[in-house]
Chain A
Amino acid sequence: MSTCAECRSFFLREDEPGQGDCVRRVVDPRQAFYQSKPVREDNDASGCESFQKK
């Protein structure tokens, strides 16, 4: 099973063990941006379409 911690988009939070942010670049029809969503490092990432192994 792949976990979020193994993904290039995962950034561990220094002050919260086990907790991190999934940070991804998105380009929509009007603008480009980076988005961030909280995830845990041990989250199952096997179903994630955006998963990219580090």
Chain B
Amino acid sequence: MVAEPAQDQSVQELEDKQEWWWVAEKKRSKRLDYLRKSVWKKGALGGNYAPGIKLDLECATLFTDMWKFWKYDPIMMRRAKAIAHVLDNKTIFITDHSQLVGYFGSLPNTIMWRVDGASMVNEEAYNEPGIMPEPENESLQKVAELNDYWAGQTAVDKVARILDPEDAVKFLSGAIGWGAPSSAYGYSGKDYEYLFAGRRGFEDIIEEINAAVENAEDKTVGVPGPEILDIYDRLQNWDAMILVLEAGIRHARRYARLARTMAENMETDEKRREELLKIAETCERVPARAPRNLQESLQYDHFIQIFARTEAHEGAWPARPDYYHGPYYDKDVNVDKTLTKEEALDLVGEFMIRAYEVGGFAPRWAREGLQGITGTWVWTLGGVNKDGSDACNDLTVAFLQAARLVRVSNPTFGFRWHPKVKDEVLRECFECIRHGLGYPSMRNDPLLIQNAMHWHGHPLEEARTWVHQACMSPCPTTKHGVQPMRMASATANCAKMVEYALHNGYDHVVGMQMGPETGDAAKFHDFEELFQAWVKQMEWLTSLLVRTVNLGRYKDPEFFGRPFLSGMSERSVESGLDVVSPVGDRGNCWVTAFTWVENIDSLAAVKKLVFDDKKYTMEQLLSALKANWDGYEEMRLDFVNNAPKWGNDDDYVDDIMLRCLRETARHSRVMKCPSGNSWPILPENVSGNIHYASIVGALPNGRRCGDALYDGGISPGPGLDKKGPSAVLKSCGKIDHVSDGRAFLLNQRLSPTQLAGEKGYQLWKAYIRTWADLGLDHVQFNMVSDETLRAAQKDPEKYSEVIVRVAGYSAHFVDISRKTQDNIIQRTVQGI
């Protein structure tokens, strides 16, 4: 199949050939076509930024200038003043044909640089090829000056200094996990119930803060006593919140002024002039006051996201746009009829494009682990209302339709499936998957609500508001339910658990004694000894990572400070506490378990071939592993082909999966977050399976150091699930998706040929029913043929818009490394 430009072919012809990217170009409006093609792609190509992408020095300099100036202020106030200075003075722009505005860099091709986050990231920015603005020498000098100023006083520097030195050394080795224990980076939850359901604009919030300040101030001039001492800090925090909220209002009005200037002085086209005046009116209204229509609502949401990202490098984008903007769509399109469906679709499509273009400078581990995208913008659609009724609305459908027109790889959607979802909505989900987007991922809503109540004690109504906090983990959007900050450093490279159990805790890749000494595996007499060693390594590894996050979370208000995000939180507005403070947060933590299934297949292989069949000794196995299987190829193939593998409905190995999960779930309850809640695991990978390929040593599942790891979650190893899709579902269905962990990612590849037409939809629908009946919480699909993917490898320019599901996110196929591409092609295509 050869992809050719679409001009000479009809939509029907292109649909028949399943060249959905050309279909999208033909079907979308001229506006969406222009805006989609105008985006500077910020996602890294493999590990590097695309040509033309430049580091944003303007914002970093403005921020640092003001940070230096207010050096005696408390940290929250100091940050608020620095952010306000950026918002008041950075360059802003309005792109031709756009109706929504706001970017967190100063120009469309710049990536924002979180200069106060981590000095090692700053140094990486200095060393990075291709991203220095011209003239390069001047930029290098500027970056060096900024780096020297921030060295030692960034948020991560401060945490690293007080971590236990053993934990710091092992964590920073890069072998066992990633992420930063600071809210400078991470995934911030938003209290959407307060903002959108509560219909509050920034002026409403400022009014509430002023009332709280007035009340508190009375106490500071009242009877002396210990109970008033922390009020002084709270007053500073409240002032900081007001300061940054006012800066946000001023920033929006800069856009209003620019749009009016353009309309009155530059624009000659009458229709565009009207659009510019509408932009001006919108930005004069929001974020100052609550939105009144769809454009204002989307613009308000976008401003909130941009301001939060001006304050910190946010790696995710928790959102539920159909639920919170749906009432405005209904009013504009169905009731007032001020917008046609097509006009609304343009706004919705642009809303997605505005998110797609957002990108900050990310460290290499994040770029390699999230190849092709800038963060996990997984937006939540569907689900239920607080009373349990179906929450899907016309805007749910509009988002699913717009996604097929703009075909962005970020944001993607996670769809909260439940039995009451109407057929017309489910069809729209399927069409997105059939078009090869890889999204929406399907989430089992009733089960995940139950899971949220089980692990973190969310009351039912609160649990029903959940959104994806990152790729997978549900988090409510309420006062006490929202987790304000997920710090990604509780991300475990779990394959190390079995590796360390086999090597007495020693890491041969980084040359360090990492885990506890659990004994010389050569002397283990039975599987039980190995399993108990694995349990100890699992406990050690997860505990170490959780300690770093707990400390980071506890110290964050002192080390970083989030005035804007605090102003978005009912809890902070009421209390005057930094939103990252655990006080009043119910706690919604999880350990992301990368490279999990390698443990299961490796343990099963040792049990079968060493202890049960006695075909090899432990000495032989350890020698083969130390040699990276070099010289042991026949033996390696035995471990690949003749040991049981997860995903084939084989109790021998599936029971090991359950034992591992249940031991980990037990330990999850032992570990506590700063709010006193549990730390369940959540197996998933993003593209960490490629990032960690050279960091995980040889394993008994037959994998060599350097080979890609499995694609993650509870997905079987690529090509190792030989018994069909039902067997995969049955294996996964043995897991208790409520009590064994927080969520479980499952990748499946389906055949686009088999799923063509109405019959295809019915087959898929029946599959989803089985998936739900078996009690799985997640599944996501790749539905692009090997033929297309191989053609894209040969001729990337012709296939630049082909999208694939990597793991927890989607990416354009041409943006991911060859190794990741091969890993996706290698996955079994399941006939259903």
Give A37 to B262 CA distance when docked, in angstroms.
14
Cβ–Cβ < 8 Å partners of A25 in chain B: 266
In the complex, the chain A residue whose C-beta lies closest to that of B276 is A34
Q: Please provide the chain B residues from 80 to 103 with a CB less than 8 Å away from any CB of chain A in the complex.
A: 88-96
Cβ–Cβ < 8 Å partners of B266 in chain A: 23, 25, 34
* B254 A36 Cβ-Cβ under 8 A: yes
Cβ–Cβ < 8 Å partners of A31 in chain B: 34, 38, 95-96, 108
* A33 B93 Cβ-Cβ under 8 A: yes
* A13 B92 Cβ-Cβ under 8 A: no
**From A13, A32, A35, contact of B96 by CB (8 A):** A32
Query: Is B257 an interface position by the 8 A CB rule?
Result: yes
Known A-B contacts A25-B266, A30-B37; the reply to A35 vs B91 at CB < 8 A is yes
Return the CB mask of A16-54 against B: 1 if under 8 Å, else 0: 000001010110111111111110000000000000000
* B52 A38 Cβ-Cβ under 8 A: no
Cβ–Cβ < 8 Å partners of B261 in chain A: 11, 21, 23, 36
* A33 B91 Cβ-Cβ under 8 A: no
In the complex, the chain A residue whose C-beta lies closest to that of B37 is A30
Give A9 to B292 CA distance when docked, in angstroms.
33
In the complex, the chain B residue whose C-beta lies closest to that of A27 is B96
* B262 A34 Cβ-Cβ under 8 A: yes
Give A31 to B293 CA distance when docked, in angstroms.
28
Cβ–Cβ < 8 Å partners of B265 in chain A: 11, 23
Give A22 to B92 CA distance when docked, in angstroms.
11
CB distance from A30 to the nearest CB of B (A): 5
* Best-surrounded residue of A21, A29, A30, A32 (most CB of chain B within 10 A): A30
Cβ–Cβ < 8 Å partners of A21 in chain B: 254, 257-258, 261
What is the interface of chain B mostly: helix, strand, loop, or mixed? mixed
Query: Is B150 an interface position by the 8 A CB rule?
Result: no
Give A35 to B93 CA distance when docked, in angstroms.
4
* A33 B96 Cβ-Cβ under 8 A: yes
CB distance from B106 to the nearest CB of A (A): 8
* A13 B95 Cβ-Cβ under 8 A: no
What is the interface of chain A mostly: helix, strand, loop, or mixed? strand
* A37 B91 Cβ-Cβ under 8 A: yes
Give A44 to B38 CA distance when docked, in angstroms.
34
Query: Is B175 an interface position by the 8 A CB rule?
Result: no
**From A29, A33, A37, A38, contact of B94 by CB (8 A):** A33
CB distance from A24 to the nearest CB of B (A): 10
CB distance from B31 to the nearest CB of A (A): 13
Tell me the count of chain B residues lying within 8 A, CB to CB, of chain A.
25
Query: Is B109 an interface position by the 8 A CB rule?
Result: yes
Known A-B contacts A28-B108, A38-B88; the reply to A33 vs B258 at CB < 8 A is no
* A29 B52 Cβ-Cβ under 8 A: yes
CB distance from B825 to the nearest CB of A (A): 30
Cβ–Cβ < 8 Å partners of B93 in chain A: 26, 33-36
* A30 B39 Cβ-Cβ under 8 A: yes
Give A33 to B785 CA distance when docked, in angstroms.
39
CB distance from A50 to the nearest CB of B (A): 13
Known A-B contacts A11-B265, A38-B89; the reply to A33 vs B108 at CB < 8 A is yes
Query: Is B40 an interface position by the 8 A CB rule?
Result: yes
In the complex, the chain B residue whose C-beta lies closest to that of A8 is B265
Cβ–Cβ < 8 Å partners of B89 in chain A: 37-38
Give A31 to B800 CA distance when docked, in angstroms.
19
**From A23, A29, A35, contact of B107 by CB (8 A):** A35
CB distance from A17 to the nearest CB of B (A): 15
Give A33 to B109 CA distance when docked, in angstroms.
12
Q: Please provide the chain B residues from 102 to 116 with a CB less than 8 Å away from any CB of chain A in the complex.
A: 107-109
Give A18 to B262 CA distance when docked, in angstroms.
20
Cβ–Cβ < 8 Å partners of A37 in chain B: 89-92
* A23 B262 Cβ-Cβ under 8 A: yes
Cβ–Cβ < 8 Å partners of A26 in chain B: 93, 107
Cβ–Cβ < 8 Å partners of A13 in chain B: 257
In the complex, the chain A residue whose C-beta lies closest to that of B58 is A37
CB distance from B260 to the nearest CB of A (A): 9
Give A34 to B262 CA distance when docked, in angstroms.
8
Give A25 to B262 CA distance when docked, in angstroms.
10
* A33 B95 Cβ-Cβ under 8 A: yes
Cβ–Cβ < 8 Å partners of A33 in chain B: 93-96, 108
Known A-B contacts A11-B265, A25-B266; the reply to A35 vs B92 at CB < 8 A is yes
Give A21 to B261 CA distance when docked, in angstroms.
10
Give A21 to B264 CA distance when docked, in angstroms.
14
Q: Please provide the chain B residues from 397 to 438 with a CB less than 8 Å away from any CB of chain A in the complex.
A: none
In the complex, the chain B residue whose C-beta lies closest to that of A38 is B89
The 27 listed contacts between A and B (C-beta, < 8 Å) are A11-B257, A11-B261, A13-B257, A23-B258, A23-B261, A28-B107, A28-B108, A29-B52, A30-B37, A30-B38, A30-B39, A30-B52, A30-B108, A31-B95, A31-B108, A32-B96, A33-B94, A33-B96, A33-B108, A34-B94, A34-B262, A35-B92, A35-B93, A36-B91, A36-B258, A38-B88, A38-B89
Which 3 pairs from chain A and chain B are nearest by CB?
A: A31-B38, A35-B93, A36-B258
Q: Which residues of B contact A (CB under 8 A)?
A: 34, 37-40, 52, 88-96, 107-109, 254, 257-258, 261-262, 265-266
Given A31-B38, A33-B96, 12 more contacts at CB 8 Å?
Answer: A13-B257, A21-B254, A23-B262, A25-B266, A30-B38, A30-B39, A30-B109, A32-B95, A34-B258, A37-B89, A37-B92, A38-B89
